[in-house]
Amino acid sequence: MARFIFITGGVVSSLGKGLASAALGALLQARGYSVRLRKLDPYLNVDPGTMSPFEHGEVFVTDDGAETDLDLGHYERFTGVAARKTDSVSSGRIYSNVLEKERRGDYLGKTIQVIPHVTNEIKDFIAIGEDEVDFMLCEIGGTVGDIEGLPFFEAIRQFSQDKPRGQCLFMHLTLLPYIKASGELKTKPTQHSVKELRSIGLAPDILVCRSEGPIPTKEREKLALFCNVRPDSVIAAQDLSTIYDAPLAYHREGLDQAVLDAFQISPAPKPDLTKWEDVSDRIHNAEGEVKVAIVGKYTQLEDAYKSIAEALTHGGMANRVRVKVEWVDAEVFDTEEAAPHLEGFHAILVPGGFGERGTEGKIKAAQYAREHKVPYLGICLGMQMAVIEAARNAAGIKEAGSEEFDHESGKKRFEPVVYHLKEWVQGNHKVERKVGDDKGGTMRLGAYDAVLAEGSKVAEVYGGTAIEERHRHRYEVDIKYRDKLEKAGLNFSGMSPDGRLPEIVEWSDHPWFIGVQYHPELKSKPFDPHPLFRDFVRAAKDTSRLV
């Protein structure tokens, strides 16, 4: 049976609960244990799939097609354990499940209440797969005191009571603000947060305190005394120059040892941190720098492209260079030329997105990269914009565009080289979709196979011709334009196994220009960089030597 670690947050949000959970998972793995990480989000959306990236950052997609919180990306990057649909749930999903059961009559006419029906649904979710791993880490989104989080806190309280004594542990992450005027580190917000937690029946075993610097002994003892935890269970989480230092930093602070002590695991296996020492070395001892422009429309919020930024970092680590990312707003190119904004970059990346806003700028970025022989990686919409650019400027289809933009505006303006995907094959069955379907969960989601052309650039990059990658899109490049585009020099070098859906395009006369319909960034890890990002950064490195 798994031991359960519940990670809660207090004082303010965005302190790094997801990162702390992922780092702890990595440390437990380093000691030889198997782990799985889960996220329980109190918001009422069924999943983050329909949320604006400005609201919630990027949407992370699992192999089995779940649209989840970006923290699951951290979990995968740090532990290498592929997340599943059963690793992410929201209040919306919980309430939806309860109401479906009520409509079916599963509750035999009883009055449906938060306790026990909603809390039981949450407990059932937490327990899924508990016999598969040594440790199950469950992060509760938001902060203690949030009204929508109360059913989750009550559920984990009940869950810990249902389990044998010593099988559940509570870790609480808080903030220790530094008051510059008085030169003091303040413990009172943490004390209040723990008091709030205790008032709903939860007592933290471990306190993880975010701070700008180390926690002095006096403050550490004060926190231990007033929050009723052992002094060696007060863990400092100082600001770091890179998130990939987190496992080593938490180990130095004794987080993994505090967890094992709380579970009374003694003697505990010694950790093997060689992998993380190598990761840290590659980041801190880079042998050069490359500049990459990310041309997108959510550039004001870097979390909107979290996995892409991390995958570029991984590609840099593989090539022992530091990747300096600059965010370029695609809408700027609507009124200005692209060249002045893109000169001096060693590579250009155009990420995914939805809607027409900023797309003409992305098309100009693809054109600049093609004409100036700058390495280009187009992801999802970034590939579609590269195809539209090729159709307009190389294949003579002057009105080329996407059906998505016509649907958005309500009138036909373009020749749709990109169309709304109405059916595709998933496993052994056909999936069908209509334009008017609900937005949530109706895309081509999750892992699908692709076949790469022999001798193509991507086959060389991957080192083979069969791949599996994660998708998240409704619109697809139309195969009927393949001949025209290939005559112009844009090769369709990757296709779905049935040969109907284009997965990858590349320019034959360009040193490195690849567009992919899927999201390779979702599978990249610091100790196992994705092949496309590894080679993209290598190409940028080669360009930097020429500039």
SS3 labels along 23-88:
HHHHHHHHCCCCEEEEEEECCCCCCHHHCCHHHHCCCEECCCCCEECCHHHHHHHHHCCCCCHHHE
Residue with tokens 């008017």, as numbered in its chain = 436
Where are the strands (E) in 415-535, listed by range? Answer: 415-420, 423-426, 429-432, 444-452, 466-473, 475-477, 490-495, 502-507, 513-516
Quick: pLDDT tens for 369-399: 999 999 999 999 999 999 999 999 999 999 9
Distance CA 280, CA 117 (A): 46
Quick: pLDDT tens for 265-303: 989 899 999 999 999 999 999 999 999 999 988 766 677
How much is the pLDDT for 157? Answer: 97
Distance CA 197, CA 190 (A): 10
384 in a labelled binding site: yes
- Does pLDDT of 147 surpass 70? yes
Give yes or no for a contact between 234 and 215, defined as CB atoms under 8 angstroms apart: yes
415 in a labelled binding site: no
Hey, what's the torsion of the CAs at 465, 64, 376, 399, to 10 degrees? Answer: 100
How much is the pLDDT for 25? Answer: 98
pLDDT band at 503 (very low <50, low <70, confident <90, very high): very high
Token reading at 148: 């929508």
Domains along the chain with CATH numbers: 3-279 (3.40.50.300), 288-419+476-544 (3.40.50.880)
- Asked if the peptide bond before residue 116 counts as cis, ω within 30 degrees of 0, the response is yes
Q: What predicted TM-score, i.e. pTM, was given to this entire model?
A: 0.92
189 in a labelled binding site: yes
Quick: pLDDT tens for 84-99: 999 999 999 999 999 9
- Does pLDDT of 425 surpass 70? no
13 in a labelled binding site: yes
Residues with catalytic roles? 380, 519, 521
- Exposure string (b/e) for 3-31, b if CB count within 10 Å is 16 or more? bbbbbbbbbeeebbbbbbbbbbbbbbbbb
14 in a labelled binding site: yes
52 in a labelled binding site: no
383 in a labelled binding site: yes
382 in a labelled binding site: yes
191 in a labelled binding site: yes
